[in-house]
Every structure is written in structure tokens, then in C-alpha cells.
Structure 1
Amino acid sequence: MVASGTICFVVVLLFTQTEAENEILNRITTLEKECSKLNSNVRDLQSEVEGMKAESKWGKEQLQHLTDAMFTKEGNLRTRRQGYEEIEVAFFATIRTSQPHLGQGQIVIFDHVVTNIDSSNSVGGYSPNTGTFTAPVDGLYVFSATLVSAYDQSNHATVFKNNQRLTVMYFHGNAVHDYDKTSQTLVLDLKQADTISVRESENDKSYYPDDHCLFSGFLLRQHYSGVIVG
């Protein structure tokens, strides 16, 4: 009976020990899984921190760019965008000298220049030698033309963009045996180096001189090809 009880006790002891070992192993396995999850979370956090550092650096750089664009080195607020100051383009010219016997397709010369501004300092602007306006920058432009016919003449004139006819201007002075006047306003999207001119459509025609005929234009809004900060 003693031997049998001892065996039972040993068996129970071994079973208890095995159960304890299994529980320890299970806990170790659980801890390893938790450690693995923690390591993964730590890596994710490290990645987020690196991303936040990069965003913070970018934000600081952008803030510095904005600060440089808005303020001078002395800390004064800039009144204009440095490096991207507004371009002024405008012209106004009249026909002062008579131009008799104009031929078909000939450019009308507005020889008396009152205003001719091009702050871009390019080869653009209006030329009184050719009667042609050349766009110095990309942008939205406004043009106006007023023509007075010679006495007792009917006539047609055209506004050209480069070599493309845009509009037709008509006079009918011979209907009333007097002078006739016509005018137009155009709003055009131009690229740099595009040209605008007024051309005669018929043969052997002329216009009333002494500043009665006008041609003018100006840059309404410049178009920028890149991103401007400031």
C-alpha cells in the first residue's frame, strides 16, 4: 500500500510539474508574440517619427521661403514679389502723317507714339516703324483700334494676329459723301513674340491723318509658366 501511494504521489508530482512547464512555455510563447508585436509597433512609430521629421524639415523650408519672399533681410515687409515684379506693357499711337495709296495687305503705320511702355526690357512692345505690336510676355492683352476713312471713300481694314486675320473693320464714307469712322476692341491670349497689326484690305486707300486714327493696347494679366511663391 505504501509503495502504491508513493507511485501515485510521484505521478501526480510529475503531472503537476509537466503542467507547470507547459504553462510556462505558453506564457513564454505569448510573451514572444507580444514582444514581436511591440517590435513591429516600435518600427512603425520610428517610421512615423522619421516621416514627421521630414515633414517638419519641409515645413521649415517652406516657411523660410515664404519669409524670404515677404520680408527683406532687415525685417521689412516687401511691397512686391522679388524676382517676379509685375510687368507693365502698354502703348498708344495715332496716325499723324498721311499715308496715301495703301495697298492690299499693307500694314497701317500709326506713326505718332504717345505711350510705349515695356518694363520687361525685351524687344517687344509697339514699333512705329513697322506698325506692329510684339508681345514681350505671355498673357492676356486688350487692344483697341479706331480708323477714320479718307473723304468719300469706302474701305475695309483687318486686325491680324501674326498672319491670321481676326476681325474686319468697314467704312462707308462714299454712301454719305463724307468721312466714316469705325472702331473695335479685342481681348486676346498671346504668347511671347506674337504680333498684332492693323492691315489694309483693299488697294489704293488711305486714312484721315492728324491724330484721328488710333491704335492702343495693354497687358491685362501676365501668364506665368512656373509656380510663384510670395
Structure 2
Amino acid sequence: MNLNQNDTAVTPNQSLPSDPSILSLKDSLISKPHGKRVAIRTMTTVMADVVAFYVYLTNTETNPGPHHVIVYDHVVTNSGNGYNKHSGAFTVPKAGMYVFSWTTFVDQNSYFPIELAVNSHRAGIVFVHASTTFNGVTGSVVIQLQQDDVVMVRSEPGYNPSGNIYSDNKMKTTFSGWCISCSN
């Protein structure tokens, strides 16, 4: 974006997203002769500081046992680079209050307790069972975390599950997390 001698923006509208709230903010910034540079830089900085990820499993995991970490191999979003698709772990890049959600599908004749673990300790758990058809369950947790804490989804260590963790293009086994209040 270029500014003329009066600090008035001269960049065409196409350079910013078309979201109405962003355009409204952009229009109010352009109409005010002072402070535009600071406000626009702040908006860019806020977006750069976002910590969020969304990943899913592309294939069914056959007969995983107890204490099995689910390694979600397809990364859709990984802002902050906290998720590792090789280990299935999210390493907290910034301390703060986080929300995590995980959805697990199983196929016929399967049952699993699936837990969210933080530094190897249970932070949340769900149970999914399917007898004659596929079934799924979603869990969510809101939790305060410190930088370098490690979060993962796994089958519960003290329980012997049965069957398969299912995922395909119609039913995705997913894991996501985002910081709702991160420290700098």
C-alpha cells in the first residue's frame, strides 16, 4: 500500500480481503487522514500472531491398541506451526487459553475411548461405539497452557479398544485447536 503526502491510502480496493467487516475497517481507515499506517500495521500483526490448526486422518487406522497416538496426516491449517504431522503432537508455541476439538469415527463392531492428552495427562475423554454401522463422537476442551506443552489425541492407555478408527472423504476423523487468548 502506498500513501501520498497527506498519508491518504492510494492502494486499490482489490488489495484487501472482500470480507465486509474488513472492508468497513479499510474504508474507515482510508477516510481518516491520520493514523492509517499504525492501524494497518496493527491489523497485519494481529493476523500474523494467530495460533490455530486443523488436521485430519486420510485413511482408516486398523486395530490400533491402547495408548495409540492418532497421527493426523493431512494438515489444512497450521498457523503458528505448532502441529507436527509426523508425530501427531501439537506443541504450544505461545502460552494462553486454548480450545481443542477432536472428532473420531469408528466402523462396525468398534469401540474406543479417545482422550486429549496434555503432557501425557488426560485433559478430556470421549467414548465411541458402533455395532452395526459407523459412528462418531466429538470432544472439546478449553484449557490454559504454557509454551512448549504438548497436546495429542490418543486411545485411552488403560483400556483395550476394539476395531478401527475410520476416516474417508465423507467422514473425517479430525483434530483442531486455537488460542483464544495468547500472550506475546
The TM-score with structure 2 as length reference comes to 0.70
Name 2:165's counterpart in structure 1. Answer: 207
Per-residue deviation, 1:126: 0.6
Per-residue deviation, 1:187: 1.1
SS in 1 for 2:60: coil
Decide which structure has greater helix share: 1
SS in 2 for 1:78: helix
Name 1:222's counterpart in structure 2. Answer: 182
Structure 1's unaligned 5+ residue stretches are 1-74, 119-123, 225-230
For 2:127, the aligned partner's letter is: Y
* 1:218/1:130 CA distance change after superposition, 3 Å: same
Aligned 1:156-195 pairs, distance under 5 A: 156-174=113-131, 177-195=132-150
Instruction: Among all aligned residue pairs of Structure 1 and Structure 2, give the percentage whose two residues are the same amino acid.
Output: 27
Aligned 1:24-173 pairs, distance under 5 A: 77-79=37-39, 80=41, 85-86=45-46, 87-118=49-80, 124-173=81-130
1:21-46 residue CA offsets vs partner (Å, 9 max, x unmatched): xxxxxxxxxxxxxxxxxxxxxxxxxx
Structure 2's unaligned 5+ residue stretches are 1-34
CA distance in 1, matches of 2:68, 2:129: 20
Per-residue deviation, 1:223: 2.2
For 1:95, the aligned partner's letter is: L
For 2:149, the aligned partner's letter is: D
Q: Which range is displaced more, 198-207 or 209-218? A: 198-207
CA distance in 2, matches of 1:182, 1:135: 25
For 2:103, the aligned partner's letter is: T
1:54-112 residue CA offsets vs partner (Å, 9 max, x unmatched): xxxxxxxxxxxxxxxxxxxxx8651245xxx4311111111102221212111011111
User: How many pairs are equivalent?
Assistant: 143
CA distance in 1, matches of 2:36, 2:140: 42
| Structure with bigger gyration radius | 1
CA distance in 2, matches of 1:143, 1:157: 13
CA distance in 2, matches of 1:131, 1:206: 18
Name 2:24's counterpart in structure 1. Answer: none
CA distance in 1, matches of 2:116, 2:70: 10
The TM-score with structure 1 as length reference comes to 0.57
